[in-house]
């Protein structure tokens, strides 16, 4: 097998790789680097932890050193992944003199504007923030002749398809490289439209299962917390990564574990960028050995020595399960992946069927005892009862109140951005987008209706996001779906 010293790389790149202790390329690196260096578009299907970031990072840096590429744009689905990719590529181009800038939402744009004003050779960006800079004309899209779409399937799952189309229409790159865990469905349509000629690099072997001990535990609604605490105690000082379905559940579980004396922290889309960075840093440095996360942390993030991954709430599908579990058992270490299974027989059958056939598993909120129903027990220490009434159910929200589908194409267009805020984001539209059971759309509301509106806005709707955090006694009213 060839090593990096034998590859036709410049001395600046080899010096950086030696400092990083990169000796032998992984399979995806060995197959991808020569293709990108030749000027071939690459479509790569590779698993988590395969080394794909270094694969395209080394190749694009070498092309730039040879004068065969001008500037490179790397698009990532999340802030954390963009930051991580930027750091890894910065270490590769350490001795080249190239300037790398990372831009993402969740913090002040003024710092990024100052950085971009000094020039950029490699730009790592999330789609939304990149369009903001295009609107401000802080970046000329035409300077980029190479675009890398990292975790493309994740970007499409998060609803960035309109943003990607808009960005590619502005940039019109000469070379486009795409890296994804899957190459079917919407990813295949994106490839067909924007990357007509390419070479495929398919890495069949998955990291999942090599060093990972998988286990399922059948739990009742009220025993989930107890079982989790038993796993944490068994892990001792080892790192435990716990996945839940929503940011509310992440905050609730984090509060419960802290209340019982555990070193816990949480990360989800409702926290500020600074808060998310602090949580990840504390977990990586060992200051906190328990991280409660939504699936924002399931793709691409590298946290070494995670001994236990716990699926407190079941993932939506097999692919999400794979990326969650892929956080442990890395670099030859042994990891443990534990999934909490509901007692309901029908739910177990749906789970096993979806894992075997790789079909998406619906996670409905209705039904007897489900989230948003009346009559189930809740309160402190209960994980899987119902809500406080029917107005807490999903029917009280309008279809456009959450999720990527609420952003219509016109709200993301370059023309509408240059004219200021999109009309769909004003306060009038927010109030009108609520469901028929929503309170506060007119007239006086009762005190109970006011309290319920606050609960709906906790770490969620934009209409109440600026309110101060509520007391812990209010947080403990939330319950989990099993």
pLDDT tens-digit map of 412-431:
443 444 444 444 444 444 43
The pLDDT-based confidence of 199 (bands split at 50, 70, 90) is very high
Domain range summary for the chain, segments of one domain joined by +:
9-202, 212-363, 365-398
Nearest-angstrom CA–CA distance, 461 and 339: 30
Return the pLDDT at 58.
Answer: 97
Beta strand pairing call for 239-243 and 306-311: parallel
pLDDT tens-digit map of 354-391:
444 443 333 333 333 333 333 333 344 444 433 334 44
State the maximum Cα–Cα separation within the chain, in Å, rounded to a whole number: 75
- 3-class DSSP state for residue 470? coil
Same fold, 9-202 and 212-363: yes
Q: What is the CATH number of domain 212-363?
A: 3.40.50.300
What superfamily in CATH does domain 9-202 come from? Answer: P-loop containing nucleotide triphosphate hydrolases (3.40.50.300)
Average pLDDT over residues 340-367: 51
Q: What pTM was estimated for this model as a whole?
A: 0.62
Nearest-angstrom CA–CA distance, 113 and 293: 31
Name, in order, each residue with C-beta under 8 angstroms of 43's C-beta and a sequence gap of 6 or more.
177, 178, 180, 183, 191, 195, 198, 199, 200, 201
pLDDT tens-digit map of 186-197:
899 999 999 989
Partner residues linked to 169 by β-bridges? none
pLDDT tens-digit map of 288-335:
999 999 886 556 567 878 999 999 998 887 778 877 887 887 766 788
- pLDDT beyond 80 at 464: no
49: left (phi over 0), alpha (psi -120 to 50) or beta: left
């Amino acid at each position: 097998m060839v090593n990096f010293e034998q590859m036709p790389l410049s001395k600046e790149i080899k010096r950086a790789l030696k400092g990083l202790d990169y000796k032998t390329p992984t399979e995806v690196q060995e197959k991808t680097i020569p293709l990108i260096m030749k000027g071939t578009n690459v479509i790569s299907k590779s698993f988590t932890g395969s080394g794909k970031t270094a694969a395209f990072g080394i190749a694009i840096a070498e092309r730039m050193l040879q004068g065969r590429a001008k500037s490179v744009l790397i698009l990532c689905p999340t802030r954390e992944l963009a930051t991580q990719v930027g750091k890894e590529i910065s270490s590769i181009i350490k001795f080249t003199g190239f300037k790398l800038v990372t831009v993402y939402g969740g913090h002040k744009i003024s710092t990024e504007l100052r950085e971009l004003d000094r020039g950029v050779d490699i730009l790592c960006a999330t789609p939304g923030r990149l369009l903001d800079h295009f609107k401000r004309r802080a970046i000329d899209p035409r300077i980029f002749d190479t675009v890398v779409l990292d975790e493309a399937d994740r970007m499409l799952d998060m609803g960035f398809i309109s943003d990607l189309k808009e960005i590619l229409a502005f940039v019109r790159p000469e070379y486009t490289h795409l890296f994804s865990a899957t190459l079917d469905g919407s990813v295949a349509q994106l490839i067909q439209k924007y990357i007509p000629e390419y070479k495929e690099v398919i890495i069949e072997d998955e990291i999942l299962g090599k060093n990972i001990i998988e286990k399922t535990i059948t739990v009742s609604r009220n025993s989930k917390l107890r079982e989790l605490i038993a796993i944490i105690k068994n892990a001792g000082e080892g790192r435990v990564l716990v996945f839940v379905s929503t940011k509310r559940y992440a905050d609730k579980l984090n509060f419960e574990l802290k209340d019982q004396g555990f070193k816990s922290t949480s990360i989800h889309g409702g926290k500020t960028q600074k808060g998310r960075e602090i949580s990840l840093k504390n977990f990586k440095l060992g200051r906190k050995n328990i991280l409660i996360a939504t699936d924002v942390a399931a793709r691409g993030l590298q946290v070494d020595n995670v001994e236990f991954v716990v699926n407190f709430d079941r993932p939506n599908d097999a692919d999400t399960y794979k990326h969650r579990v892929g956080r442990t058992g890395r670099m030859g270490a042994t990891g443990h992946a534990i999934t909490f299974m509901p007692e309901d027989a029908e739910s177990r059958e749906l789970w096993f069927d979806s894992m075997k056939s790789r079909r998406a598993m619906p996670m409905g909120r209705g039904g007897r005892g489900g989230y948003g129903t009346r009559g189930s027990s809740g309160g402190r220490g209960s994980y899987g009862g119902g809500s406080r009434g029917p107005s807490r159910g999903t029917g009280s929200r309008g279809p456009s109140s959450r999720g990527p589908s609420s952003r219509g194409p016109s709200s993301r267009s370059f023309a509408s951005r240059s004219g200021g805020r999109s009309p769909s984001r004003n306060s009038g539209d927010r109030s009108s987008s609520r469901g028929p059971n929503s309170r506060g759309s007119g007239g006086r509301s009762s005190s109970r209706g006011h309290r319920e509106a606050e609960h709906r806005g906790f770490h969620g709707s934009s209409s109440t996001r600026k309110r101060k955090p509520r007391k812990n006694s209010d947080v403990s009213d939330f319950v989990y779906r099993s």
